[in-house]
Amino acid sequence: MVAVVLALNSGSSSLKYGLYAVDPEPVLLVGGTIETPDDDGDDHARFFDTIEAALKGWPVPTVIGHRIVHGGPHRDAHCRIDGAVMADLDVACAFAPLHGPASLALIRAAEVRYPGVPQIACFDTAFHADMPDIARTLPIPREYQATGVRRYGFHGLSCESILRQLGGDMPPRLVIAHLGNGASVTAVRDGRSIDTSMGLTPSGGLMMATRTGDIDPGVLLYLLRETEMDAKVLATMVDHAAGMTGISGLSGDMRVLRVAETDDADLAIRMFERSVCKQIAAMIVSLGGADLLVLTGGIGENDEPTVQAIRTGLAWVPGLEIRIFPSQEDAQIAIHAAALA
C-alpha cells in the first residue's frame, strides 16, 4: 500500500514541507520552503494556509512526519506521537529553545488541520544515540550528567540520508559535514555515528551563520559578570547575533558575504572555513583516518569557494576523497513516517 506522507521540516530559519508517495522509496509530489523570520514566533498555524494551498489537488496525507531537532534525554528513536511523547518534547524545549517550541506548535496545528491522521516524530538526535562514552560524555560533574547533560549531536536525518544515498559505496571511515545556517561535522564508522561536533544543543561545534559554536566558557562568564547581560540576552547573542553575523556586522548568509567586499565579511568567511577544516580534522582523529568526506547542506552543496577552501585546507590528509551530496532530510522523514504509521 502506498503511504502519502506530509513531511514537515521545521528549522531555525525556515519551514520546509513535502508531500511524498512512499512505496517503498519516497517520491516527491510537491514541496516548498517558507521563510520564518524571528518575529513570527510560533505562528505555525498560519503557515498551514500556505501549505494547504500548495497541496490542493494532491492526495490527502495518510501520515505526517515531523523533524524534531532535540528529543531530550528520554527520546532517542523515531516514534509515533502521543500524549507521552508530547510531554517529553515539552521538557526537551529546554535543550533546544530555537527549535522545540516551534515544532510543538506545528504538531498541534497539524492535529487540528488533519484530525485522526497519525503523526510521527523523527529525531535529529536519534542517529547519534549510541555514540561511545568518550564522545557522549561532557567534562562536567556526574551529578549534572544524570539530568541529561551530555553530547546529543544533531543533523542526524541529514546524515541518514547521506548513508542511504551512498548505499553499498559507503566506506568504513566517513566524515559528513552538514554546512548550512546550522552546521556540524560527524564521524561515521561502519554506518554508525561515533563522534560529532554539536553537543548538548545545536549551538555548539562549528562557528555558524548566527551561532558562536564552541567558545571559551570564560567569555560567557565574563559577559554575565561584567556587563548588564542576563541569561536571556546572552542566549540571544549566542544563537542569533554571533557567528558570521557577529563578525561581519552584515549577515550570516554566505551569499551576502561573498559579494560584500568588506574586510569584516572576508574575515567572517575565513573564520568559518577554518572552523570547518578544524572540526573535520578532529573527526578524522576520532576515526583514525578517513576514506571519504561528504559535504552537504546549503553551503556545502552550493558555495564553490567554501568547497575549494576545504579542499585546500585538508590537502595534507592522504587519500581523502571529497564528494558533494544533497541533504535529503525530508525524504528521510517520509521513509520513517511511512514505516512507523
Residue 40 and residue 29: Cα distance in Å, rounded? 28
CA distance 298 to 178: 8
Which residues are the active-site residues? 124
Q: Map residue 20 onto helix, strand or coil.
A: strand
Non-local CB neighbours of 146 within 8 Å, separated by 6+ positions: none
Burial of 229 (0-12, 13-18, 19+ CB in 10 A): middle
Contact 73, 56 (CB under 8 A): no
Tell me if 322 sits within 8 A of 310, measured CB to CB. yes
DSSP designation for 140 = S
The b-or-e profile of 168-202 (16+ CB within 10 A means b, else e) is eebeebbbbbbbbbbbbbbbbbeeebbbbbbbbbb
